[in-house]
Structure 1
Amino acid sequence: MRILSTLLLASTILLIASCSTPSVQATPSPTTVGVETATRTPQILQSSPTPKGSLTIWFTPTFAPDPSTPAGFLLQERLTAFQQANPGISIIVRLKEERGPGGLLETLIAAHNVAPSALPDVIAIDPIALNSAALKGLLVPLNGLVAEPTPPEWYDHALLTTYDLGSFFGLPFASEVEVLAYRISRYEEAPASWSDILASPAAFVFPAGDPNAALTLFQYKALGGPLYDVNGMPTFDPVPLNDLLTFYRSAHVSGILSTSIFQYLSSTDTWNSLKSDQASSAIAPLSAFMATEDPKNIGAVPIPARTQPGICPTETWSWSIVTLDPVRQSLASELITWLTQPEFLGPWTYALGMLPPTASSLAMWPEGPAAALASSLVTVAQPKPSAEELATFGPILHQAVEAVILGGVSPTEAAQNALEELRRP
């Protein structure tokens, strides 16, 4: 790292409107980083090359260095400190949609094919996009550029999605996770297992309308259910699948799971149902729960499983390097290392409401219920199903859940039907 200089680098903040966001312009400040929003459809051919004295990072809006939010303020401060420590280097932040025509991966592919000079140096990337980008040769292996993250300091759930083709392509920085949020007054104790959910008449909701059945697939895998047989062919084990569908059926028969659960497509939908008191417990994003700060009325625990201690689906975001220039790679590696130091990563992930990837970062969270919850989550956290798994198994599981809840099909029959459907040519 270059010696810290008192020279503050002036950089322009440009907030260029997206198709759904009004235009805003801010006064240039020597202590800020340049920020540009992107249109949903990338205009690659009109993009300017990255200036030689700068590093360009692509973010989604969730991670934007926006000083009006606690997390955004912390990130802006951290990036500014890196600029000050590296005289002559400015940081340009470009915001991209998470998915879609103007999304991170789609824009990365388009820029690679049409205008390589418009590529970023560093990208904040989710696990599905990381896997796809690595397979397409769009990311630089980090081996030899940064210290390789290893357990026990780095949590397993954070590392499992960063490796591909024998190399690691991402340095994890935060994990979006899902929990069970519940109204404390409706339960004698925090629900920790299926039996606890079934023991109370309180309504429970999960995103059963998700056509890829991501939560059901995650629960099936958590029960030890295999997805491929010894010959590498897709399969289901009817025993754990029957167990899971029996839980759903029992909850429905007892009035805990209503047929209305199929209107919920995501954990955000079910969280909103809990907030509006349409349910007593619901699958919810940890970030939404932490932002609510209503500990007297709403609690959160790992998602109940067949037995304690529960489960926790995670989506880990990582820093990846794109630039092929060795000098810029060196500076980019310094930057992503700077952004994963515990003294920053701890407060930043706490402000984001996401799990940090390292034990020392979690130790930087303030003592209290949130830190205690996070400590319980990291012990059971596992990555969400991959894109391939969702596409192959998700729709069939969705049909099985519908058959049990809406069609009156027995769990045993639905599990067997799912296996036969999977084997069908």
Structure 2
Amino acid sequence: PAPAQLSTEPVATETAVLPTATSTTPTPAPTPTESGPARLTIWWPEPLAPLDNETAAEVLSQQLSAFQRENSDISVDFRLKRVENVGGILSTLRAASAVAPGALPDLTLLRRDDMLIAAQAGLLHPLDNRVSQAVREDLPGVVLELGSYNDQLLGLPYTLELLHVAFPPGMEAPEALTLDSLLAEEIPFVFPAGRTSGLNHVLLVQYLAAGGAVSETGGLVVDASALRSTLRFYEEALGRGLVDPIALEYVRPTDYRSRLITESRGAFVVTSTMYLELVDAGVELGIAPIPTHDGTAMTVQDGWLWVLTTSDAERQERALRFLNWMLDAQRQIEYAQVLHMLPSQRTALRQLRYPEYARFVNNLLSNAILPLSESASGTTARAMQSALAAVMTGQRTAEEATRDVLNQLNN
């Protein structure tokens, strides 16, 4: 098929060729007859089909069309959906499940936070032993944890996103990056310290590496020594001008993307997606794990997860056929790379066009943690985030901020 553009409108198409960007009205899908192909409805999140990425549109169109050719008994009803707010995938799933269950898709993709909400609402169906053995065995155990809920696999990881450090073009990376080496070599540290809710991921990694812990229910366990020593780094770094309170306004690494490219020195926390976007554009960047006290290489992992949303056995069979087909390692790496994302399977990751980065990612995955669930650790996470903000603005010392956290939780 010819290269295709994506529309921001939900679109249904029998041939699975994506609509042009000039489309203004959704194309209605044909009504299946008893003798015609059975319908497979897929809701595809907009971030996995960005409008400004023509190559991604072409590759996705080709993959969907190839599935259609090889499975002529299935008619693919493909709908591009926004992710957030009213009309987003999660909100529509929740609303339709009660009043119009027939309007639900058979298959869609969610980030982990949304998957947990959907799972708690009973909107998802288990994938345990429903996908091919080859796919299951090719997914690292820590990656499978992304889609786990109450000892069931409800989400199958498709693309991954990790956090790590990148150094500006031309900067010589230190041999080992630790919190002490940042201070000793006077390297500015730039990270998304802000958070609309809960605890920022960088402080979470550093706190856990210092001896903090997460409970079996996913909540933060307060360790005064680990928190105090981590906050002490920020107190000292602030005094030396190596961290800036403006970091509290950064919610995501893209907020300081231009600084990474233009500044001559610094350790900038990035997502793997942002890193790949830049190196694919020809920007040469050094890499390192997030700095911790002892140099432990840790990261927070997140990603897009396939979820099964139909309870009908025949529709589930069609959805699983498509899911197993899309998780062919070659198809997965082909599409993940044009999205500047990491594939979830080991075989696909080994085919990444940057072998050294693939090895770096594989090492990070050996010690990756899950994002905190807001429901499981809300109060503790917010208290620790407030403590960081107080230290980074010079309002409290590390000792005082730690005591504030303990007092707040004890009360």
Aligned to 1:160, what secondary structure does the other structure show?
helix
Say which of 244, 253, 258 aligns to 2:239: 253
Aligned partner of residue 217 in structure 1, secondary structure: helix
Following the alignment from structure 1 to structure 2, what is the Cα–Cα distance between the partners of residues 131 and 327? 25
Pick from 93, 102, 106 the counterpart of residue 117 of structure 1.
102
Q: Identify the match of residue 385 of structure 2 among 373, 398, 423.
A: 398
Equivalence for 2:178: 193
Report matched runs for 1:18-417 at 5 Å: 32-33=17-18, 53-64=38-49, 68-147=53-132, 153-183=138-168, 185-189=170-174, 192-211=177-196, 212-215=198-201, 216-228=203-215, 235-277=221-263, 280-293=266-279, 297-389=284-376, 391-417=378-404
Q: Does structure 2 conserve the Cα–Cα contact (< 8 Å) formed by 1:290 and 1:370?
A: no
The answer to whether the 8 A contact 1:48-1:118 is kept is no
Q: Secondary structure at the match of 2:302?
A: strand
SS at match of 2:82: coil
TM-score by length of 2: 0.85
Q: 2:220 and 2:369 mapped to 1: Cα distance?
A: 21
Check 1:191–1:254 CA distance in 2 against 1; reply closer, same or farther (3 A cut). farther
1:423 to partner: Cα distance? 2.7
User: Within 2, Cα distance between the matches of 1:17 and 1:393?
Assistant: 40
Q: Does the CA-based 8 Å contact 1:235-1:423 persist in structure 2?
A: no
- Whether the 8 Å CA contact 2:7–2:80 is kept in 1: the answer is no
Render the CA deviation track for 1:44-74: whole Å, top value 9, x for unaligned.
xxx9998573212112212128795333433
Aligned-residue identity in percent: 28
CA distance in 1, matches of 2:23, 2:220: 40
Q: Structure 1 counterpart of 2:333, which letter?
A: G
C-alpha offsets along residues 198-244 of structure 1, whole Å, 9 cap, x if unaligned?
Answer: 222232211122243322234323434134599x9964110111121
Task: List per-residue Cα deviations over 1:351-391 (Å, max 9, x = no partner).
Answer: 32323222111122235443343333323322222232463
Distance change >3 Å, CA 13–CA 409, structure 1 → 2? closer
Q: For residue 133 of structure 1, what is the amino acid of its counterpart?
A: A
Contact 2:105–2:310 at 8 Å: present in 1 too?
yes
Distance in 1 (alpha carbons) for counterparts of 2:291 and 2:378: 25
Q: Distance in 1 between matches of 2:6 and 2:260?
A: 38
Secondary structure of 1:55's counterpart equals strand
Paired amino acid for 1:336: L
Q: Provide TM-score, normalisation by structure 1.
A: 0.82
CA distance in 2, matches of 1:311, 1:94: 37
| Shift in alpha-carbon separation, 1:350–1:48, aligned structure 2, 3 A | closer
Q: 1:367 to 1:414 in 2, by over 3 A?
A: closer
Distance across 2 between alignment mates of 1:382 and 1:334: 30
The aligned length equals 400
Residue 140 of structure 1: how far off its partner (Å): 1.2
Q: Cα distance, 1:348 vs. partner?
A: 2.3
Distance change >3 Å, CA 413–CA 99, structure 1 → 2: same
1: distance between equivalents of 2:351 and 2:292?
29
The one-letter code of the counterpart of 1:346 is: I
Q: 1:151 to 1:207 in 2, by over 3 A?
A: same
Distance 1:279 1:117, change over 3 A: farther
CA contact 1:50–1:118 (8 Å) conserved in 2: no
Structure 2 CA distance for aligned equivalents of residues 332 and 272 of structure 1: 41
Deviations 1:227-285 (A, max 9, x none): 4599x996411011112111211221221112222221222213343234396221112
Contact 1:234–1:422 under 8 Å retained in 2: no
Is contact 1:49-1:118 (8 Å) kept? no
CA distance in 2, matches of 1:72, 1:156: 31
CA distance in 2, matches of 1:254, 1:199: 11
1:15 corresponds to which residue? Answer: 7
Shift of 1:337: 1.0
Distance 1:150 1:194, change over 3 A: farther
Deviation at 1:393, TM superposition (A): 2.7
Rate the CA distance shift 1:420–1:318 in 2: closer, same or farther, 3 A: same
Name the stretch that deviates more: 47-56 or 281-290.
47-56
- Per-residue deviation, 1:91: 1.9
Give ranges in structure 1 of 5+ residues lacking alignment. Answer: 1-7, 19-24, 40-46
Question: Is the contact between residue 365 and residue 371 of structure 1 (CA under 8 Å) also seen in structure 2?
Answer: yes
